[in-house]
Amino acid sequence: MTKLYDSIRAISWKADGLYLLDQRKLPQQYTELHLTTAPAVADAIRDMVVRGAPAIGIAAAFAVVSSAIEHQSLDYDARIEKILEDIVTLSESRPTAVNLFWALDKMKQCLQSTQVNDENLVQVMLDQATLIRDQDVQANYQMGEYGASLLQQDAGAVLTHCNAGALATGGYGTALGVIRSAYSAGKINQVFADETRPWMQGARLTAWEFVKDGIPVTLLCEGAAASLMQQGKVSWVIVGSDRIAANGDVANKIGTYSLAILAKHHGVKFMVAAPTSTIDMKTATGAEIPIEQRAASEVFGCGEHRVATEGAQAWNPAFDVTPAALVDAIVTEKGVIEHPTLEKMQLHMSQKV
């Protein structure tokens, strides 16, 4: 399937291993890091070289391949043990995005399959990691179609938060995939993007993606979102997710919950686009989703530049939970769940694509 607005890839596997586009440096610099060990990839995930739930899972899957290559000289049992240790290290990099654990589980199952032996291990693992990435891109294309179909023909402008784009996935994006598809279909003419304090994913990454694609994008401080909605400037809020609980509660970048409340108050629709690898049916409600706390230094400044007064403390949860009752639609590669409930989520997850 060839798509318009689909030129960005943040994760690539080459003959000599894994390359990650360094998202800490965008948009000022376009630099790729070449990483050859799983602990190096775990650090890259923690440090936000690669970020966004599906992208974290894909990078971790390729890191397991790197581990299989690195430990090639060991005898088979010792090699498997080292790879399993690396899987644990990767799983400790960030806690909220369930795609990380989902992808590592897939790699582990593959590692422990009876088809695998010392000779074919690297190839089998590489095939699995490649499949995870390729299926993610296909899922994004599907979500793009389903999500765009929910928008009225003259939807005008939409608002998004953080970066749920090509950079956050195997390519094309979840929320930004829906927006790309809706723009291609002529349904929207403008995207508003929250700058997304403190890490500025909106200002640095989402705006970069849209400017690169020639899709009109307007940045705002998230504090301006209420006024934007009050003035009737957007018809939908469209966001991604790091983990969706069994009852449809949605964890996403801090500030998403405020947008959902604002959207409800102003009669603006609220859509979450996420592949089924983001749905965690083992977590009953949003209250059980582990929320990452990040360093106070992110709040004290902007990038390297210190802004806050010395002596203050900071509270820096990276994610919040939007209750299912505030969500108009969850869109996955399987279709649309309107006004999610446990029963609807269970039915959706039991369906074949």
The 228-267 site mask, x for binding ligand MRU (CB under 6 A), equals ------------xxx---------xx--------------
Type of residue at 9: R
CA gap 319, 96 in Å, rounded: 8
Q: Is residue 275 reached through a cis peptide bond, with omega within 30 degrees of 0 on the bond before it? A: no
The 109-148 site mask, x for binding ligand MRU (CB under 6 A), equals ----------------------------------------
- How many angstroms from the chain centroid is the CA of residue 203? 16
Our CB check for ligand MRU shows the closer of 89 and 174 to be: 174
Q: Which of 6, 86, 194, 242 is catalytic?
A: 242
Distance of closest approach, residue 2 Cβ to ligand MRU, in angstroms: 21
Does residue number 162 form part of the binding site for ligand MRU (CB under 6 A)? yes
- State how far the alpha carbon of 238 is from the alpha carbons of 87, 110, 182, 286, in Å: 33, 34, 11, 19
Note if 242 is an active site residue. yes
Residues 68-107 that bind ligand MRU (CB under 6 A): 97
Does residue number 286 form part of the binding site for ligand MRU (CB under 6 A)? no
Q: Where are the alpha helices (DSSP H) in 174-244?
A: 175-184, 201, 207-213, 225-230
Q: How many CA atoms lie within 13 A of 243 on its CB side?
A: 31
CA triple 295-301-303, angle to 5 deg: 85
Q: Which two tokens stand for residue 102?
A: 């989902």
Candidates 84-92, 161-169, 327-335, 336-344; binding stretch for ligand MRU (CB under 6 A): 161-169
Q: Which residues contact 350 (CB under 8 A, 6 or more apart)?
A: none
Q: Which residues contact 237 (CB under 8 A, 6 or more apart)?
A: 158, 159, 160, 161, 259, 260, 263, 268, 269, 270, 271
Q: Tokens 């000022």 identify what position?
A: 28
Q: In this chain, which of 37, 174, 181, 316 binds ligand MRU, going by CB under 6 A?
A: 174
Q: In this chain, which of 318, 324, 327, 330 binds ligand MRU, going by CB under 6 A?
A: 318
Phi, psi torsion values for 236, nearest 5 degrees? -140, 145
Does residue number 53 form part of the binding site for ligand MRU (CB under 6 A)? yes
Distance of closest approach, residue 193 Cβ to ligand MRU, in angstroms: 12
Our CB check for ligand MRU shows the closer of 24 and 82 to be: 24
Does residue number 57 form part of the binding site for ligand MRU (CB under 6 A)? no
Does residue number 201 form part of the binding site for ligand MRU (CB under 6 A)? yes
CA gap 239, 320 in Å, rounded: 13
Q: In this chain, which of 6, 35, 41, 52 binds ligand MRU, going by CB under 6 A?
A: 52
Q: Which two tokens stand for residue 175?
A: 């929320």
Count residues binding ligand MRU (CB under 6 A).
Answer: 17
SS3 349: helix
Does residue number 51 form part of the binding site for ligand MRU (CB under 6 A)? yes
Does residue number 169 form part of the binding site for ligand MRU (CB under 6 A)? yes
Active site residues: 242
- Enumerate binding residues for ligand MRU (CB under 6 A): 51-54, 97, 162, 164, 168-169, 174, 201, 240-242, 252-253, 318
